[in-house]
Structure formats: C-alpha cells, structure tokens
Amino acid sequence: MDWLSAFAGVFRPDVFFYLVVGVASGAFIGTMPGLTATMAVAVLTPISFWLEPACGFAMLIGVYNSAIWSGGISAILINTPGTPASMASTFDGYKLSQKGYSGLALNTNTIWSVFGGLVSTICLATFSFPLAKFALRFGPSEFAVVALFGLTMMVSVSGSSPIKGLLVGFLGLLLSTVGLETIHAYKRYTFGQAGLLDGFNFVAVMIGLFGVGEILYQIYTTERDTPTMKAEVKTKKQMPSFKLLGKLFPKNLFASAISVIIGAIPGAGGDIASIICWGQAKRTSKHPEEYGEGSVEGLSVTCTANNAVIGGAMTTMLSLGIPGDSVTAILIGSLMMYGMTPGPMLFIENRPFVLTLITQMVIANLVILVFGLTTSKIYPRLLAVKKTSLWIVILFFCFVGAYAINNSYVDLISMAIFGIVGFFFRMLDLPNGPFILGLLLGKLLEANLRRTLAMTMGSYAIFINSPINVVLLLITVLSLFLPTFNKWRKVRKARSN
C-alpha cells in the first residue's frame, strides 16, 4: 500500500502540476547552451521553499531529469551541448542532424534518455533501502570515514588539474567552519552577524556559484555583436522504428547498468558515463566505423547514459547523505531546509516522502517522454532566443530566490559574493566541484570526528578496530591513489614501447 499511496500522491493536481512545471522549465534551461542542470535546480530551489515538500520536490525532480535530457537537444541541433552530460551526444547527434535526420536524432534522445532514467529509478528503488538499512549500523566514526571518502573525490572532480581542485576544496573546507561550533556551540567567523550562526546558506552559495557566476562569465566572454544561434532542421524521418528500438535495447540496458554504478560514485557524472559507454559500445559494435559519423546506436547509448546516472547519484545522496554530483548536493541542502537530513534515518523517519520522491522520478520520466516527442519541432526556435533576455530573467530569479530563502539580506550578500567567486573560478579555470564537496562535507566530517573522539577519550583506535571503518578506509585510500597509479602505469608503459 505504501507504493500505491505514493503514486496516488504524485497524481494530486497540485503535485502533478508542479512536476510538469519542473519538466517544462528544465527543458527550456537545459536546451540553452551554458545553462546547466545545476544552474536550473539552484535557481528554482528557493521557489520550492514556498511549497509543501511534495510539491517542491516534484518541481525539482522534474527540472533535474528534464534538464539532463534536454541538454542533448542543442548538442544535436547546433553541436553545442546544453549541459556537460550531453557532451558525447555531439559525437553522432550533430552528424545525424546534418544528414537530415534531426527529427530521428531528437526523438532517439528523448526515448533513450527516458529509458535510462526509468532503469536508474528502478535501481534506486531496489538498492537504496538495503543500503540505508546497512548504513543504520554506522556510528559517528563510520560517518566520519564516509565524509572523508567523499572529500577524497576532490581529486576526481578536479578535471585536468588536481592541485587547483585541492586548493579550491580546502577553501570550501575553511568556509564550512563559519557559524556555531558543533560541540560547544561557540561562534566562529560570524562577524557579529546572526545570519551566519548556521554558516553560509548552502542554497545562496549554490545560486551564486552556478547562477550569478555563470551569467557574469557569459557576459564577460560574449562579444557584443555575436549573432543569435540558429539551428537548421531538415526532416527525413522522425520516429525510430520498433525494430530499431529492439536492436538497440541490449546495448542501452548494459549502458544503463554501467551508468548507475558510475552515478553512485561521488564526483562522477553524466559526462564521464556517456563517454565511457560510447567507447564501450563502439568497441563491441558490428559497425564501429559508423560511430562519430552519425550512428543512431552511438547517440542512443550516450543519451541513455546521461539520465541513467541520476538514479545512482540519488541512491548515494539519499542513503548515505553524500552527493553523487553537484545537483544532488543542492538537493541535500533543499532537504535540510525542509527539516529532513539525507542518510539512513531518512528512510525510517520520512519513509513516505522517500517513496513519493522515487515515484516522482518515474512519473517525471513519463512526462518527459510525452513532452519531448510532442514538442521536438519547437526547439530550433527556442535556440534563437537572445542571450541578453535570458541573462536578465535568470539574474532576476537569482536575486529574488536568494532573498526569499530566509528573507535575509545576509543570504543576498552571500549570493552576490559567491557569484563573484564563481566568476573568477571560471576565469581561472578552477573547478566548482571540490569547493562544494568541502563546504558540504566539512561540517559532517568535523562533527562526527569530534563526537568519535569524545566517545573514545581521544583515542583513534576505533578507526582500525571497526571492520566497517577498515573497509571504508581501504576504499578511501584506493580512490585517492588508484588514479595516480593508473596514470603512472600508462606513462611507464608508453616509455617501454
């Protein structure tokens, strides 16, 4: 009856309305190059606080899934991915569009994105509850190690420069100490501002970094006379046949499984999953020479991978309280604003809400399927919208949203400051991911480490006496040093050849 109640709850008129609003908003923002899914969720999160949790999260889930799917639209039509996750969709999608099969490419993107989203949601429903049940065995020491593991992902999300990533990550850790100290509740770095007693508002920071910072960067780097983007659409064939869908099914099912696992790894995202799956599909294809030249098979695999990552990232976020990507980091902040803490206790204290959230993901993907297949002809016109108009609208929502969180000018100032920080991050090619991990996980690590040491009278022996801790520490060490070892091995192999 729990699942039946959850499905009935999603089809409440108000909840379903906000879910559709989220899907439509995500489709618009995701299609615009440069306006990422992270920005979409960050900008709309403050609006969700005016709604009850079921309605607010329906909108955010709709935005999240829709923006990842719609990022492939601009990748197909103008060879520019709307979101980083759609980068690999340019390999074959744009070539298909040039050959006159843009309708086929757009509908392939919709169908297989929804397929990946549904498979990953099934995995979320299947594995998140057992994982949360296992995590109930965790005490402060285990959560401290889990937070440490999450922080080691700074290296993974640093791009080509781990040093820059670590520097930015430690800046995030430093700023996580602002506010009341976790054990004795004395003030740290609040400068007499009551609005900083709980630290920097995470949502305001995210809006600044990913919203204002990105807009400032686009304004700075866009030439005044840049022509409006236009997409030329030719239409030879619109819908993939059932025979073609059946032929593509095995490869996309395998791509879904790989992507769910990749999504569950903190720091790994849709861009990594889609590239890995595209390469794997090419190696096992009967026609590898078609990949990169307009292969429907190659495009379908990347589209599946993009959205299949979402279920894995949500599994990690809900069960362990660790963000799988930057969007789930924002969703953690949203849950906390609603008084719910992601982690194993969420599945006990707020089980109906978890079931509703998973159900919302299923319905959101079905809405995307209908919405995407019926609106594929309007996206070329959508890509012709002037950037300046978008900038004004988004900045308006950023400022109104940041203030509306707590009706606090401190949040507004924080958003503006971190908007400038986000701009300089882009200018200096500094990654945002490590900063977010440091800011989000810093307090979790500090609080649980200090609780552990208080329980053990200052002894660190519990970290090697507990089997769970030992396994988690081994995984942490492997995740930290394995990429470096693999890189060293490749260099050595190249020199020997």
**Domain boundary assignment for the chain:** 1-225+238-495
CA distance 139 to 347: 16
- How distant is the alpha carbon of residue 193 from its chain centre? 32
Contact 74, 33 (CB under 8 A): yes
Whole-angstrom CA distances from 78 to 5, 108, 162, 483 are: 43, 16, 32, 34
Most confident by average pLDDT, 55-64, 160-169, 218-227, 406-415: 55-64
Contact 74, 80 (CB under 8 A): yes
Residue 335 is predicted with a pLDDT of 81
Given a cut of 80, whether residue 81 has pLDDT beyond it is: no
Whole-angstrom CA distances from 62 to 53, 276, 431, 455, 484 are: 14, 26, 26, 43, 38
Place 366 in a pLDDT band, splitting at 50, 70 and 90. Answer: very high
Residue 115 is predicted with a pLDDT of 93
Alpha helix ranges (H) inside 136-196: 140-156, 162-175
- To the question of pTM greater than 0.85 for the whole model, the response is no
Which tokens sit at 194? 């009551």
Contact 119, 256 (CB under 8 A): yes
Residue 349 is predicted with a pLDDT of 80
Residue 368 is predicted with a pLDDT of 92
Place 232 in a pLDDT band, splitting at 50, 70 and 90. Answer: very low
For residue 406, the SS3 value is: coil
Place 344 in a pLDDT band, splitting at 50, 70 and 90. Answer: confident
| Residues found in the chain | 497
Given a cut of 80, whether residue 360 has pLDDT beyond it is: yes
Neighbours of 126 (CB within 10 A): 12
Whole-number average pLDDT of the chain: 78
Who wins on pLDDT, 365 or 389?
A: 365
Instruction: Dump pLDDT digits (tens) for 195-230.
Output: 777 778 776 787 788 778 878 887 888 765 444 444
Given a cut of 80, whether residue 327 has pLDDT beyond it is: no
Contact 1, 43 (CB under 8 A): no
Closest CA to 205 of 254, 172, 156: 172
Task: Give the list of residues 6+ apart from residue 484 with CB closer than 8 angstroms, or none.
Answer: none
Q: Report which residue type is found at 237.
A: K
Task: Give the list of residues 6+ apart from residue 342 with CB closer than 8 angstroms, or none.
Answer: 317, 318, 320, 321, 332, 335, 336
